[in-house]
Structure 1
């Protein structure tokens, strides 16, 4: 099993907060890797909300190829943050890298006047192209290219990696943070298999096993959307299913569980949106997951959520106070991050629940699958 932790806060937090929560849950991960997703950024990136930020790991030769590629397509560097690797050998289990890159860019002048949908598509395609370039020469690992998003992933124990890369720096503070401590179930470790996963402003991470991975991957890959690719992990499809739910079906987070864990037919007969949900269950039946899985994710509007599948065999809890909430695999992770909360209000989502903290961060909202769906007009 992996261990998951996410925090949403009115005040920017250090990723070390999330790493410490993983550390107290260390019996649930083997130290084979750590993944971080940061958004609603503080520090110097707060002034660059609209600028796309590139996150990844590069060799020196890969940096030269990146610079030439970005210049050729009209992107100029607006701000960069260097994570300088100590000259000494890295800690055991952590590979030696040339450069961890976090760089914000100016849009090309030729992009002026483009629709937001077109901009979003082009940013995704640039990330895919850079990833493919890196795969060819093994000189680039590209996690994200998106405004107000930083992603860092590395092999090794989470706390060891955080200390080695000095992740407690002010430039990396954020109001929304997701962190995963890996339990390696993929044999050969590939950093693209490390959670969280990301596509066009949507990110998720999972603790569990998705044995329905193959039909889900085949369905998504057949949609003709270039972003549905990769799949070094069976959990990446959770991110893409959510993207499909919101961007292709035009539905909100409240409908996500109706796609991945639809209600039984007898319950649909009594549901206020039963007709629509029957159609969704039929047309999206190949997106139904098989668990156990606990999924934590972030939406483009910075809402944070947690869902469980029907088996409800992976732990998960949400708690906090107005202005500061956390989502954790275990209560001890919650205790480490928000010890002064009202613990009687902690909530452990069951198989019908979606727990959501909206961007105002004032409460945990619980959506039940038996409730009426808010539908787009």
Structure 2
């Protein structure tokens, strides 16, 4: 199993908070990798919320090719954080080039474009850089999106954090998602490391999705450029989330109805039985086969946790107004928010989606037996 930790805070915090939680839960991951998502950024990125930020790892030649490509596209560097690795190699962590976090000014030719068109172009740019990097093995890109930073590396999470100096003042965020990886089914590949990201939607998962192939084939059949990659069976969770909310136009309350629809007896008693029956039939190939615990974030900075029907992967949510955390284990929650009222901790069950909205005032439970907020 892997271990997951996510927090949402009214004040920006260091990613070391999440790394420390993973370290407490160390028996649950083998130290083969760590992935970090930072959103709703603080520090120097606070004043450039709309600027797209590129996150990735580049060789010297990769940087030269990136710069030429971005200049040809009309992007100009606005701010950058370059993480240069120490000269002394650390055991278990590959020696790489430059870990780059760079904010850009939009091309002038994009002025006046609709928000939806800009978002499509940002995704297409990321996919093109990834394709270029795979050709020459000189660029790895994790995200290219406003107010978002992603860092991934092989090795023990705490070792990686010290190696890259992630306690620096210019890396703080109000939303942090972190996964301590356990390598099970696939070769160790940074693109297989959670969290996964597409157009503001991100998920990470503890579990195994044995329905991966039919789900992947369904998503690929949509012929949407962003549905690609799939070095991990868990990447489909982010794409299903995007498909549910962006393509189908549904809310987060419908996400579990897509991945874990109600059984027939429960479905017949639901107030939205006709709609959910149609949804279940039309999206049947997106039904997961766990066990899985999914933690995700939405473009509006909502954080959520959901379980599948098997409920065989742990997950707990707790905190206080202004600071909440989602954790694979209670000990991870205790390490970061020890002064919370533990009687309010929630362990979402198989019908539940635990949600903390951007105001960070409370944990709300959305149950699949409740009426849906359907679009008019």
- Which TM-score applies when normalising by structure 1? 0.99
Distance 1:185 1:307 in 2: 22
Q: Say yes or no: does 1:57 pair with 2:57.
A: yes
2:219 — aligned with what? Answer: 220
Query: Deviations along 1:212-265, whole A, 9 cap, x unmatched?
Result: 000000000000100000000000000000000000000010000000000011
Per the alignment, in what secondary structure is the counterpart of residue 218 of structure 2?
helix
Structure 2 residues without counterparts, runs of 5 or longer = none
**2:186 touches 2:232 (CA, 8 Å); kept in 1?**
no
2:26 — aligned with what? Answer: 26
Distance 1:186 1:257 in 2: 25
Aligned residue runs from structure 1 range 1-377, under 5 A: 1-89=1-89, 91-377=90-376
Query: Deviations along 1:151-189, whole A, 9 cap, x unmatched?
Result: 000000000000111101111100000000000013420
Per the alignment, in what secondary structure is the counterpart of residue 170 of structure 2?
helix
Distance 1:96 1:267 in 2: 53
Q: CA deviation at 1:133?
A: 0.5
Per the alignment, in what secondary structure is the counterpart of residue 170 of structure 1?
coil
Q: CA deviation at 1:362?
A: 0.2
Deviates more, 1:179-188 or 1:32-41: 179-188
Distance 2:112 2:66 in 1: 26
Distance 1:172 1:289 in 2: 35
Structure 1 residues without counterparts, runs of 5 or longer = none
Per the alignment, in what secondary structure is the counterpart of residue 172 of structure 1?
coil
Distance 1:322 1:71 in 2: 44
Query: Deviations along 1:128-169, whole A, 9 cap, x unmatched?
Result: 000010000000000000000000000000000001111011
Distance 2:208 2:86 in 1: 36
Distance 1:85 1:192 in 2: 20
Q: CA deviation at 1:339?
A: 0.1
Per the alignment, in what secondary structure is the counterpart of residue 210 of structure 1?
coil
Per the alignment, in what secondary structure is the counterpart of residue 95 of structure 2?
coil
Distance 1:86 1:269 in 2: 61
Paired residue total: 376
Per the alignment, in what secondary structure is the counterpart of residue 354 of structure 2?
strand
Q: CA deviation at 1:47?
A: 0.5
Distance 2:272 2:289 in 1: 24
RMSD: 0.6
